[in-house]
Amino acid sequence: MTASSMSIVLSVAATFFVAGVVKGVTGMGLPTVAMGVLGALVSPLTAAGLLIVPAFVTNVWQLFAGPSLWPLLGRLWPMMAAVVAGTFAGAPLLASGNVRLTTSALGAALVAYAGYSLAARPLSVPARHEPWLGAVVGGATGMVTGGTGVFVIPAVPYLQALGLEKDDLVQALGLSFTISTIALAAGLASRGAWRFDSLGPSSLAIVPALIGMWAGQIIREKVSPPTFRRWFLIGLLLLGAEMALRPLIAG
């Protein structure tokens, strides 16, 4: 293995460790951090391929740790179906190999996520609007997922606005993230941009991600999660802005 290859491997491991720490402290953010940092080191398509397995493993665990899987599925299925459809529709952008465009789109998604989260404006969705609004949000989330590999906007603000109990919200986020991960893998595979033999490199990222989650849970007991979250989001906002503007600066 060359020095350059070793440097990339160590960078990927460090990225998933840090992403795991963020998820351990805040309960979310692993794919967002991984795509944000790796997108500055390798192409967004390569970063998305590395993300598939660790995101799937951590999100399935989050999905089945809650008490209300079937009621949530009954309530959120229009959103989940739209996530799948939107991801397949957006996948051509990420699969195109147009690094300038996908990097800029990824940066914009990170800025939107960090900006909304920092503003922390409470929203509320009336129950009568859930069926159609959930489908709209799911489709938009799928398009962002397929085009950038980031699957938090606008799904996370929408789910937070449903007034779910704490455990149900965590499980609903796990459901959305799991469906998005599977849809992303399938959408990229349908374009020939991801194959099952990519599972090997992606699987190696599970170990640093889980170690990071364990470390994050320890940090959560010693550092104020709101303080950690605020500075994490500020860093993510700056990173996203740099990625969004990079193609313009590069000319």
Query: 211-237, pLDDT tens digit by residue?
Result: 998 898 788 777 777 787 787 788 888
Instruction: Kindly give the residue spans of alpha helices, DSSP state H, lying in 27-43.
Output: 30-38
Q: Which comes out higher in pLDDT, residue 223 or 3?
A: 223
Query: 6-39, pLDDT tens digit by residue?
Result: 788 888 899 999 988 888 777 677 888 888 888 7
**Can you read off the two tokens belonging to residue 40?**
């500055």
SS3 labels along 156-198: HHHHHCCCCCHHHHHHHHHHHHHHHHHHHHHHHHHCCCCCHHH
Query: 123-157, pLDDT tens digit by residue?
Result: 788 888 999 999 999 999 999 999 888 888 889 88
- Cβ–Cβ under 8 Å, residues 212 and 18: yes
CA atoms within 13 A on the CB side of 198: 18
Query: 146-204, pLDDT tens digit by residue?
Result: 988 888 888 988 998 898 887 788 889 889 999 999 999 999 999 888 777 767 878 88
pTM of the model: 0.82
